[in-house]
Amino acid sequence: MSNSLLLKKKPNIEFHFLEHGFQLNDTETALNSGFYSYQEIQSVVLHRVWFPRLSVWMRVFTTFLNGVPFFPDADSYKFSSIVIQTDSLKIGIWLTNTTMAKQAKKLKEMLDKVDGGNKA
């Protein structure tokens, strides 16, 4: 098995899938970069965006009641993330656009398939 998955171009976040693990090259967060064995992975969690829709409706609701929106702007809460928990490290990557979110879904599926579905 030798595949690659590009999560983001600038700064570069790329996963290289090898036979016994994956190499993560993350120029955005250097601490994430390195080789991780598939056996080290405890869980892969994909946090989806939900807050922007809620915040938009809350702004409309508070504007209707008070004439002034009292809820934070939805644009500042648009980020979802993927978190890979290993035996010794928690790798968290913010997904800042829909392309990254789609790639992260593929990443989760690939890691689940490699590990045989032993993750939470």
- The residue among 67 and 29 whose pLDDT is bigger is 29
Is residue 90 pLDDT above 90, yes or no? yes
Evaluate if residue 108 carries a pLDDT over 50: yes
Q: How many domains does the chain have?
A: 1
Residue that the structure tokens 């598939």 belong to: 38
Question: Is residue 119 one of the residues assigned to a domain?
Answer: no
What is the structure's pLDDT at 92?
Answer: 92
Is 35 a member of any domain? yes
pLDDT score of 119 more than 50: no
CA 10 to chain centre: 16
Q: Which domain holds residue 43?
A: 3-114
Q: Which long-range contacts (CB under 8 A, 24 or more apart) does 10-14 make?
A: 13/93
CATH number for the domain that contains residue 45: 2.30.29
Question: Is residue 18 in some structural domain?
Answer: yes
CB 5 within 8 A of CB 17: yes
What pLDDT, on a 0 to 100 scale, did the predictor assign at position 98? 78
Give the pLDDT mean for 15-31. Answer: 92
pTM for the model stands at 0.70
